[in-house]
Amino acid sequence: KPHNKPRLEIQDDKPQRSLSYPNTSQPTAQQTPFQQPTQLISFSYNPSRELEFTDSALRYFVDPPLGAKLGYGYERWVRRPEQRGRLDGLVQAFSKARSRDTSSLDDVGVVAWRGVMTKILTSPYEEKEGWELNVMFVNGTMYFEEHLSESRLKEKNDMEPRHRLQSYYGYAFESYCTSDSPTRQMVSSNPSNPMGWGGDVDTNVQWCSVVRTKLGSTRLVIGGEVDCVREKYTHQTDTFVELKTSLAIRGPHDEAKFERKLLKFYFQSFLLGVPEILVGFRTPSGVVTTIQSFKTIQIPRLVRGKPGAWDPLVCLDWGNRFLSFLKDVVKREVAQHDAPTLVWRVKFAPKAGVTVDILDPGGVQDVEAGEDRVGFLPKWYWDELHP
């Protein structure tokens, strides 16, 4: 027995702080289970970007007209500026869900927006873009916040005009595909709008669903925007529809590119339990030419063996290992430093892997004037966890 002790200490002196990039060319042995997500709560952001626990921003799917012009209304776009990936809305919803039902929410391992989880899970196949996260570990739960550097934020806000117009096409497609009521309105309320236009784009307005699920042995609470529901809203995820636009496919090169894109479409929807993805294929100048509906769970089979192939099991296995690794690091360090307000920075570099470091408290939070925070969490939420 005495022999074991020094060994453990050596390990503690050299804690593992990095996780190397997975080998995507090898079939994974691990079949990491992923539990079907169930909705805990939903909420809306109104045009003033205030969070309401209502379904005021919920939209219903309607067939878009073919030939729809996605540049329509561009000059009237009410554009929400890019912001830091704060968790305020999500923890507000999580807190409310917990006050309603404590039973299933006492051992949540991770709270994060869906976009962050998508980035983590798809990283085995990411060859270009790195990402960074801020992480806190409070009462056994890891909170993930996407970290955008000042320059990245500026880049996103000062998008070049062509890129900005292309980004608008996606929102215009959402307008053509949705209505604020379940019954289709045959006549547009404003006769100067084109056929099928669902209203001018305001990207402040969003309807969000918060679900609980489980990856491997980690319970996750994930929030994300849902574009619309088909026919009716069941308070579950079964009628959710994700809308996407993509350039029309003209040859094998475009096809392989689209299949690689399907990886992101797939995980984005899979993580929230969205069963259907509707893609509007468009011309470079933003005219919708065809529409195709994909069943989310069938997408992996579509790409298997193709040039742009990917395997979702590689991603789930990587995600599971990433979460276990990170939890080991933060658990050990929070105990070592006896500092529950620690914030870690996780950095992912394509083809290399991830590293974790404790952030220097001074340079951490980029707290804006008037904000009351502990780490990156709102202070009211922190206080709620520490009665």
Which residues of the shown chain bind ligand A3P in the complex (CB under 6 A)?
167, 170-171, 173, 227, 244-245
Question: Which partner, ligand A3P, Mg ion, none, binds residue 113 by CB below 5 to 8 Å per kind?
Answer: none
Amino acid at 3: H
Question: Which partner, ligand A3P, Mg ion, none, binds residue 171 by CB below 5 to 8 Å per kind?
Answer: ligand A3P
Q: What size, in residues, is the chain?
A: 387
How far from 149 is each of 54, 236, 369, CA to CA, in Å?
33, 36, 18
Q: How far is the CB of 18 from ligand A3P (least distance, A)?
A: 27
Minimum CB distance to ligand A3P smaller for 144 or for 173: 173
Q: How far is the CB of 345 from Mg ion (least distance, A)?
A: 27
Residues pairing with 225 in the sheet = 208
Minimum CB distance to Mg ion smaller for 225 or for 255: 225
Question: Which partner, Mg ion, ligand A3P, none, binds residue 276 by CB below 5 to 8 Å per kind?
Answer: none
Question: Which partner, Mg ion, ligand A3P, none, binds residue 173 by CB below 5 to 8 Å per kind?
Answer: ligand A3P
Is residue 375 within 8 Å of 88, Cβ to Cβ?
no
Q: How far is the CB of 150 from ligand A3P (least distance, A)?
A: 17
Closest CA to 82 of 115, 118, 119: 115
Minimum CB distance to Mg ion smaller for 225 or for 366: 225
How far from 220 is each of 77, 115, 214, 235, CA to CA, in Å?
34, 14, 5, 19
Distance separating alpha carbons of residues 343 and 339, to the nearest angstrom? 10
Q: How far is the CB of 113 from Mg ion (least distance, A)?
A: 12
Question: Which partner, ligand A3P, Mg ion, none, binds residue 353 by CB below 5 to 8 Å per kind?
Answer: none
Q: Is 306 helix (H, G, I), strand (E, B) or coil?
A: coil
Q: How far is the CB of 242 from Mg ion (least distance, A)?
A: 5
Minimum CB distance to ligand A3P smaller for 174 or for 317: 174
Q: How far is CA 280 from the centre of its chain?
A: 21
Distance separating alpha carbons of residues 63 and 249, to the nearest angstrom? 21
Which residues in 218-277 contact Mg ion (CB under 5 A)? Answer: 225, 227, 243
Question: Which partner, ligand A3P, Mg ion, none, binds residue 44 by CB below 5 to 8 Å per kind?
Answer: none
CA dihedral sign, ordered 365, 371, 376, 379: positive
Q: How far is the CB of 261 from ligand A3P (least distance, A)?
A: 9
